Structures are given as C-alpha cells and as structure tokens.
Amino acid sequence: MLRVALTGAITRATARSAVVAAPRSAVVAQRFYSSGHEEESYESFSERYVKFFDGVDDLFELQRGLNNCFAYDLVPSVAVIEAALKASRRVNDFPTSVRIFEGIEDKVENKKQYQEYLDELAPIRKELGIETKNELGF
C-alpha cells in the first residue's frame, strides 16, 4: 500500500515538473560604455546645480549634491557656490558652509584663484556670516 502511494506521488511530481519547465531564451550580452553620454557644457552644469541647490530642503540632499558637484574635474562656478551657501543656511548647517570653501581651496589650481573666489563671494559671506577655516583659526 505504501509502495503504491509513494509511486503515485513520485509520478505526479515528475509530471508536474515537466509541465513547469519551459524552454529559455538565450542571454544576449550587452555592453554599456560611458562614452555614450553627451558632453555637458560648463554653463549647463552650473545651471543644473544652481537649480538643484535652490530646491534643497535637508542636509542629506545638500551634502549629496556637494559631493556630486565637487566630484567633477572642474571648479564649480560662483553661482553654484552661492546657491550651495544659501542652501546650507536654509538647512541651518554652518559647518557645511565652511567645508564648501575648503572644497574650493582644494579644487583651484593656486592661491590666487582661491582668493578670487573669496573676493567674488565676499558679499554673500558677509550676508550669511560665513568665515573660512583660516579665519576661524584652524
């Protein structure tokens, strides 16, 4: 009796698995190259990040945007930096404001360029009360 029940269960399981198995299609290899992207101009880059920083509402988004912005092989424009500084003020994070200037100092080629950024951003720094790391004594 057990033999008949066991044989019937095995037969049903084999039949069921045969019905479920379907032929599979071949996998097609596909390559994704980074050269397929369009070149972005400096103006469109600046415009994109100004728009991004104008819409930032929390610290995570601000820091993510800054990481992405400074990851490129260029120094962000004054308009982008100004928008980022206003965003850091909006989310009430003073340390990020100071770090923005540290990022600029690392990105520029020499001290003269850094000083030009400081001079250009002097009005917004005064308005928001932002000092550089050196001015804070570090």
Apex CA 100: angle with CA 96 and CA 104, to 5°? Answer: 165
pLDDT at 85: 98
Percent of the chain at pLDDT exceeding 90: 70
Average pLDDT of the chain?
A: 86
Please state at what angle helix 59-71 crosses helix 42-54, rounded to 10 degrees: 170
Tell me which of 62 and 13 has the higher pLDDT. 62
Across the range 1-18, mean pLDDT stands at 57
What pTM was computed for the model? 0.72
Q: What is the mean pLDDT of residues 18-27?
A: 59
8 pLDDT more than 70 = no
Res. 126: pLDDT tops 80: yes
> Looking at per-residue confidence, does 130 or 38 come out higher?
130
Given pLDDT bands bounded at 50, 70 and 90, which one contains residue 38? Answer: confident
Domains identified in the chain and CATH numbers:
42-128 (1.25.40.40)
* Amino acid 62: pLDDT: 98
Instruction: Determine the Cα–Cα distance for residues 131 and 133; give it in Å rounded to an integer.
Output: 7
Q: What tens digit of pLDDT does each residue of 57-109 get?
A: 999 999 999 999 999 999 999 999 999 999 999 999 999 999 999 999 999 99
105 alpha carbon, distance to own chain's centre: 21
Phi/psi for 73 (5° steps) reads -90, 55
pLDDT band, residue 39 (cuts 50/70/90): confident
